[in-house]
Structure 1
Amino acid sequence: MPPATDQTAHHQAADEETGFHVSTEDQIVGDRVPALPIEVLCQVLDYVQFFPAAQRDLWALTLVSRSWYAAAVASLYKKPDISGKNFGFFVRTLCPSINAHIRKTSFSSMVKELNMSKLVHDSTKSLTSRILGRLKDGLEIFVAPQASFAVNCLAALSKCHYLRELDLSYVSESIGLLQLLRSVSKLSRLEKLSIRCKLDYPADRGPPKVVWPPKLKALRLSACINGNDFVIFNTIPKSLISLTLRHCRGLNGESIRTILMNSGDVLESFQFEPRTSDSLIYIDLPHWIEHAPRLRRLFIPASSSSIRTDYDFPIPLRYSAQNPHPLEHLEFDCTHLDLYGSELDYEDIWLAIAEGYLGRVRRLGFRHQFNVQPWRTNRTELQDLDDLLRALAREDGQEANIKEQDAGVYICS
């Protein structure tokens, strides 16, 4: 990103990699070329922005002429590619002065997406706060840096009222959940939130009421949540359709059931990242999904009795072979079973899909440790499952959500 506080300064910028300078005389010569219609310029820009080197190409286009500059500069700053090499240029362009009332720049309103995840020690916490303050009138997507985002940045963050996506998962400093939500709960346009935090309330008093952003659709949470802390989900907005949990070691089956009861009416995706919880040894899948009638994607830890097709534990009458659950994509995290040399009962899974309540599942995944190769010892069972899923997808036809070429069994580590 070249430094540019005005058009002339922009064209006098230097590329650090090539050392090529563009002078004002080159700009004057460029303007003698007949101008292209604005429709043509827009077509070119729409094509260029999908290139791998779009940032560099857009910068080059701004050096062609004044008309190209006017057409391309907004695209150039819309999603800047920030790294340690050009961060200094970017700061001098967006924040030419510490005083927010001096030397304001029009470039700040052009930035819609700011990803600072590539920065480690290039910025400071106060500088990150100042950048957010400058970009508050246009910023829609923000990914925070690891070391230079902290509590003192929350005040500036709370004024970014156009934010739609906020990712704080890279932040190394653990921020209190309540303190964080007090800053973002008033962001009325926020739809995606990814946070790594701690629970900042006294355990003996019980958790207070937690207020989430009103239009939140996707939440990715990493926190030290124990079995008694699941009540923080009691106030999750009904707009939430995707929930991902990470590193919640103390979660148990009852807390999962409570989460689904509070958000299951609209929840479509529920994911546990690998090794999220050490307490989910027993998975009551039939009764879990009973509380999530719209769930289509589910990634959960595996246990030897996850599916439960035996008659000692009857399946809820709400879902059966005649009325299967709408779940389409199911993945089991088998890393815990790998530690003890245990395996899933693939026959139960086959029966639940072919003749039971999982009759709409078309993609089935198994996550194992990198040194485990289940496709060698259970090749026949896995192949039967794969054939079944592809055959069912073929019967669904082209109108199905998961086509035949995307259906089947996959194994990952």
Structure 2
Amino acid sequence: MYLSGHRRAMGPTKPCSDMHGRQICVNLVAPTSISAYRRPRLVTRAQVDKADDHAVAVIGRHKPTYKNANFPTDGEGRTYHLGTKEGEVAPRILSVGSVSRALLLSKLLDPPTPGRPLFQRTSSRGFLTITGRYDGEPVSIVSTHMGQPNMDFVVRENRAIVRGQMAIVRLGTCGAVQRPAKLGDLLIAAHGSIAIRRNPDYWTLMDGRESLLRASNSPTRNGTANGTTTTNGNSGAATYGGFSGPKPYMTSLPVPANPQLAALLAAEAAQVVGPDRVVEGLNASADSFYSSQGRTGSDFDDRNEGLLADLVAAHPDLVSLEMETFQLLDLARCSKGSIKAIGMCVALAERYSNAFLEYHKLEELEISGGNAALRALAHVSLDGPSEAEAETLKEREVQYVWN
């Protein structure tokens, strides 16, 4: 009674109990057209029969159908990673790192329409989208998680389902790189952001150089006995230039933030926490939490002991170090004018003193920063859909959760 018509049992049904003491029967199932030695990888789905409190776990594939490999959406038009579709996400977006922060800041929103709850959707990849209103304007809060690839998902997939110009503010946590930035301050990337990337070519060439030196020190090499030439007659030092080539870490040139949104955010933040707790400057986004942010340890050969000092020397206006803002600003720059973006972070750590903020103070700062970010989003001017987009929307009869 637990197998649908297009499935057949792959093995015996075995009774067991769950954590509540309910009996569970596990059936292994697969499409009848697939032979036993070509069955797909299995994932688990549980079904509970409330009538007799009997649970059945059915193992099989349960995925939407996607047709466009270039930009996958399902039959409802939902995006691949965020799982939202047109009409569920507002043009004004607050990007936060964690789901818990998204839920916390959603308390600042009004319902999208009177008498209805906030719109919420969590995708299969764990991205949470919440849509409501702030100061009367439709706003969405999206949990972005960590790292530049996740920010790439958020920006690109929301851009695909939102019509008209967009504004995105990132509210995260960061390390304060140098004074005047200090614990608990709101650090705004008004000067834009650079990117820091660990350069694997450094270690590859280092390994190659060491192999070459070992080979060149063999008793005879290309007719010589002094180990100073390679097989092509060039010296090892000359071939690698004494290994003065790639550095272990690469930094990009700065990408700008939107000046209008940056000014609005700075003004709103100063009203919420006071001007002495707001610092504007340059941000740096690293491709890792550890090596590319100058965190040292003995387990790995990271060659990053002087990284922070080098960054400060090269960028005197650098104030914050995190992992997402660069990708946001870079995509906004390349959006053909369709996205205004800025990043702001709570200084959770002082990298110059090694101090860390007490976590019981973080929630109050998140709410303060969230209010400032939402105010800036509500007040920034945005261009609406073009005439062609407006006509297309009429034809498709898109349903917006805030209408």
Structure number with the higher strand fraction is: 2
Give the TM-score normalised by structure 1.
0.25
TM-score by length of 2: 0.26
